[in-house]
Amino acid sequence: MRRILNLIESVTDKDKRQIGDSRENLVRDALQILQTAAAIASFRMTSHGDDDDLRGIDCFVYDFDGIALPLQIKGSWKGVRDHRERHPEIPYVFVDRDQKPTEVAFQISKALRIPLPNVLAKK
């Protein structure tokens, strides 16, 4: 019985990681849109379990002055609440896996207060 419960738990953890990875990939696509539109200079995704990830940062968005803006990606309102309690200084975006990358790009620009170029603002 214990082995079955452990197996169920490992499958559930794997599913959660895959869902989280799909959200992070969606954010990566959105950040690429912002970079292509010259709204940001670049970005870097953190690795699972590294120091930045443990501090509540999933990626850094770099402006044209080289300043790194931290960003957290959340997929549940409970996750948002927990993040805001633990890391209130780090902006976040709530991402639904069904969103389009352009929608997420708008959310990121709002969360980080990044002005959008006219080419994106009109869409």
**pLDDT of the residue at 22:** 77
> Residue 93: which H helix or E strand, with range?
strand 92-94
Q: What is the pLDDT along the chain (123 residues), one digit of tens a residue?
A: 666 656 556 555 555 555 557 788 899 999 999 999 999 999 999 988 899 988 999 999 999 999 999 999 999 999 999 999 999 999 999 999 899 999 999 999 999 999 987 767 655
Residue pair 92/71 in contact (Cβ under 8 Å)? The answer is yes
Number of domains the chain is built from: 1
Which token pair is 41? 């200079």
- 92 has which bridge partners? 72
Question: Could you tell me the residue range of the domain that residue 31 belongs to?
Answer: 2-121
Helix boundaries (H) for the chain: 2-36, 51-54, 77-86, 101-112, 118-121
- 45 has which bridge partners? 59
Rounded to whole angstroms, how far apart are CA atoms 59 and 67? 13
